[in-house]
């Protein structure tokens, strides 16, 4: 290297690469490098590896295109016609006497041309509900229900976390939350500005989390009936809200009508007979007790994705995807989508859009979805026709890292990498959250300052934040939420976060909602955030530009037509200032944040 490549090429700046970020198939991507003329470079070559085309290698000469002050300019185009996938490229400058300079290898994502994603999900606010723990209208009787379950009589009791006499945590303790209970609280959610209600699994299952389905065609009887679900959807639609279901198709339950490991169901399951109609749905190494299961967990046998009958059951005209959309659902979140081959995800996407043209498919991906490799295959999650967006765990991790003491510059860099790797439609349709049913509650993590894994589970079960920790946790939670609601993608509120519901990992993060405590200052703050998001086109769909991102100060702006909104948070312990894009200086006190809007020449504070 004769000079740092960042001085003469930066793929995040339009002067060096157009378009910004991902390209559509058929688009010509223009590259320009600008080295100092005094360095004497006479040639520039872009080497590209087309991964989804057998790792084909091409070289494109970037011709000399003129001078820009003291800089030579070399420019050229990469034609993506006929290609969808990832391109890995680097640019090499060559000069006399063997002089050279080369960039690092960069990623160019090329998605399908003309991909259109319904805007309702990414623009709106999402509320995630763990159905058993949200709202109970009566204490149900579990007699005759699958799984040998039992019900807590006291809504405020701690979920069972201890293993049974066999060393298993069976998740058979229920609290009795119901669909009717959720429907009753829809006006409350509407008051929070919620546009999408995302429900963790609601189909019949033996465990309280219901991630091992026993019958995809039936609502779990403790939650209600198909009629209750249809009524919930009708009420949500009347309020201008949508309902998203959790699709867990990679595996079923050991206790299910398909596998029927315990013989609960009257018809023969795959575990009982090779003559079962479901036998081909599973992969047996030695029938009946050696079979492929999710992460080796025997209670979740993995489905055989190569089974035509299984795929038709899920994606056919009268399959699970379409029938529940027909019943009122508006979209699906796909659990462990990396475990599903691309052709299955594509079939799910096609089935959903065939039933409802504005249905949305969101995938559970914990990493950068554009780069995800599963089972040695690079997934096509965000290349078009598969996932419309994904769960944005990279944002969650980066934002929590900042709130816990990190530098805002790192958050900006992490998000810029993601924004450049994702097509715009995917970046703007991500499910953005600070916590989920699979992670530590944000207020606990931020207030305690860690995940509690340096203590045993008994300690984590009994632990509650001190008054000081709770004040700190809530203050940081508010700053994180402000960023979340101002950022591209759907801000997603995990039930109970608006009342600072505490908890470390599962099942402590799945405690019951403390009804009667939902009218405090924190809930009001989230309601104001929801109103701000819904009332601003710039926050819902505007362009993103970074402002001051340094140390404990994070700020950016969103722009749409005549409206510009500045989001700024100061997570430090000292007052800091920000020079505003329209002039003047904003002063933010320690541990505070704001949303400022300028529209048609008028500047107002919207939060």
| pLDDT confidence of residue 117 | 97
d(CA 606, CA 486): 11
Contact 236, 179 (CB under 8 A): no
Q: DSSP string spanning 198-259? A: EEPP-EEESSTT--SEEEEEEE-TTT--HHHHHHHHHHHHHTT-EEEEEE--SB--SSSTTT
Domain 5-111 top-level CATH class: mainly beta
Residue 3 has pLDDT above 80, yes or no: no
477 CB contacts (<8 Å, ≥6 apart)?
434, 442, 443, 446, 497, 500, 522
d(CA 402, CA 445): 13
Average confidence score pLDDT of the chain = 97
Residue 523 has pLDDT above 80, yes or no: yes
Q: What is the mean pLDDT of residues 478-507?
A: 98
Share above pLDDT 90 across residues of the chain, in percent, rounded to a whole number? 96
376 CB contacts (<8 Å, ≥6 apart)?
none
Residue 350 has pLDDT above 70, yes or no: yes
Q: What's the pTM value of the predicted model, to 2 decimals?
A: 0.97
Residue 93 has pLDDT above 50, yes or no: yes
Contact 234, 328 (CB under 8 A): yes
CA 601 from chain centre, in angstroms, equals: 35
Q: Is 468 exposed, middle or buried (0-12, 13-18, 19+ CB in 10 A)?
A: exposed
Candidate list 335, 346, 435, 502, residue with the active-site label: 335
DSSP code of residue 391 = B
Cα atoms found within 13 Å of the Cα of residue 115, Cβ hemisphere only: 29
Residue 343, helix vs strand vs coil: helix
Residue 2 has pLDDT above 50, yes or no: no
Q: What is the mean pLDDT of residues 159-185?
A: 94
Q: What is the mean pLDDT of residues 546-557?
A: 98
d(CA 242, CA 551): 39
Of all helices (H) and strands (E), which one includes residue 605? strand 602-605
Domain boundaries, the chain: 5-111, 251-302, 537-605
Closest CA to 3 of 33, 30, 48, 29: 33
Closest CA to 451 of 367, 513, 508: 508
Rg (CA), the chain: 26
d(CA 74, CA 546): 28
Candidate list 246, 364, 414, 498, residue with the active-site label: 364
Confidence of residue 96 (pLDDT cuts 50, 70, 90): confident
For helices 308-315 and 342-355, the axis angle rounded to 10 degrees is 30
Cα atoms found within 13 Å of the Cα of residue 481, Cβ hemisphere only: 31
Q: What is the mean pLDDT of residues 202-211?
A: 98
User: pLDDT per residue over 355-380, tens digit each?
Assistant: 999 999 999 999 999 999 999 999 99
User: Strands 71-79 and 28-33: what pairing?
Assistant: antiparallel
Per the annotation, the verdict on 267 as an active-site residue is no
Closest CA to 495 of 443, 567, 531, 452: 443
| pLDDT confidence of residue 81 | 98
| pLDDT confidence of residue 369 | 98
d(CA 96, CA 118): 53
DSSP code of residue 112 = P
Residue 1 has pLDDT above 50, yes or no: no
d(CA 309, CA 282): 11
Closest CA to 391 of 604, 198, 115, 547: 198
Closest CA to 528 of 486, 591, 588: 486
Please determine whether the domains at 5-111 and 537-605 fall in the same fold group of CATH.
Answer: yes
- 383 is written with which tokens? 């290349």
Contact 497, 443 (CB under 8 A): yes
Per the annotation, the verdict on 364 as an active-site residue is yes
d(CA 389, CA 603): 33
| pLDDT confidence of residue 396 | 98
As a CATH number, domain 537-605 is 2.60.40.1180
467 CB contacts (<8 Å, ≥6 apart)?
none
User: What are the angstrom distances between the C-alpha of 130 and each of 149, 163, 231, 416?
Assistant: 17, 22, 19, 32
d(CA 537, CA 552): 28
Closest CA to 330 of 338, 322, 319, 318: 322
């Amino acid at each position: 290297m004769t000079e740092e490549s960042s001085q003469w090429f930066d793929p995040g700046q339009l002067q060096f690469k157009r378009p910004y970020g991902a390209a559509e198939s058929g688009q010509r991507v223009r590259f320009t490098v600008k080295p100092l003329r005094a360095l004497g470079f006479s040639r520039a070559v872009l080497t590209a590896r087309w991964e989804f085309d057998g790792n084909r290698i091409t070289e494109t000469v970037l011709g000399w295109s003129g001078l820009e002050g003291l800089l030579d300019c070399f420019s050229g185009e990469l034609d993506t016609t006929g290609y969808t996938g990832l391109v890995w490229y680097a640019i090499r400058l060559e000069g006399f006497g063997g002089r050279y300079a080369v960039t690092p290898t960069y990623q160019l994502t090329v998605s399908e041309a003309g991909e259109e994603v319904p805007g309702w999900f990414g623009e709106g606010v999402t509320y995630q509900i763990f159905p058993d723990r949200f709202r109970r209208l009566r204490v149900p009787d579990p007699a005759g229900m699958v799984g040998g379950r039992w019900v807590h009589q006291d809504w405020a009791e701690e979920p069972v976390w201890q293993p049974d006499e066999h060393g298993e945590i069976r998740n058979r303790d229920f609290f009795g939350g119901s669909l009717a209970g959720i429907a009753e609280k829809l006006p409350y959610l509407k008051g929070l500005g919620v546009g999408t209600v995302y429900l963790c699994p609601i189909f019949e299952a033996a465990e309280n989390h219901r991630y091992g389905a026993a019958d995809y065609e039936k609502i779990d009887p403790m939650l209600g009936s198909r009629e209750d679900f249809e009524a919930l959807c009708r009420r949500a639609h009347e309020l201008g809200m949508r309902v998203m279901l959790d699709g867990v198709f990679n595996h079923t339950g050991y206790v299910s009508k398909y596998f029927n490991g315990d013989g609960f169901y009257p018809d023969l399951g795959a575990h009982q007979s090779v003559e079962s109609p479901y036998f081909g749905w599973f992969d047996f190494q030695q029938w009946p007790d050696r079979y492929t299961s999710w992460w080796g967990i025997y209670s979740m046998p993995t489905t055989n994705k190569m089974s035509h009958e299984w795929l038709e059951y899920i994606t056919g005209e009268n399959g699970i995807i379409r029938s529940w959309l027909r019943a009122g659902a508006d979209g699906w979140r796909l659990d462990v989508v990396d475990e599903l081959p691309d052709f299955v995800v594509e079939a799910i996407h096609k089935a959903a859009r065939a039933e409802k043209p504005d249905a949305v498919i969101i995938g559970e991906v914990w990493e950068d979805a554009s780069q995800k490799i599963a089972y040695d295959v690079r997934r096509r999650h965000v290349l078009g026709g598969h996932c419309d967006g994904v769960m944005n765990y990279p944002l969650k991790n980066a934002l929590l890292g900042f709130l816990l003491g990190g530098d805002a510059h790192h958050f900006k860099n992490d998000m810029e990498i993601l924004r450049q790797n994702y097509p715009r439609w995917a970046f703007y349709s991500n499910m953005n959250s600070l916590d989920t049913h699979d992670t530590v509650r944000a207020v606990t993590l931020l207030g305690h300052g860690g995940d509690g894994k340096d203590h045993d589970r008994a300690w984590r079960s009994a632990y509650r934040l001190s008054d000081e920790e709770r004040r700190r946790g809530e203050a940081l939670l508010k700053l994180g939420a402000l960023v979340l609601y101002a950022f591209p993608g759907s801000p997603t509120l995990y039930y109970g976060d608006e009342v600072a519901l505490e908890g470390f990992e599962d099942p402590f993060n799945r405690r019951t909602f403390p009804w009667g405590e939902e009218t405090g200052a924190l809930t009001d703050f989230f309601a104001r955030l929801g109103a701000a998001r819904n009332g601003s086109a710039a926050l819902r769909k505007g362009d993103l530009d970074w402002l001051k991102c340094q140390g404990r100060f994070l700020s950016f702006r969103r722009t749409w037509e005549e409206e510009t909104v500045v989001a700024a948070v100061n997570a430090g312990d000292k007052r800091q200032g920000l020079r505003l894009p329209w002039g003047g200086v904003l002063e933010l006190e320690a541990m505070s944040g704001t949303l400022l809007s300028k529209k048609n020449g008028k500047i107002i504070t919207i939060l």
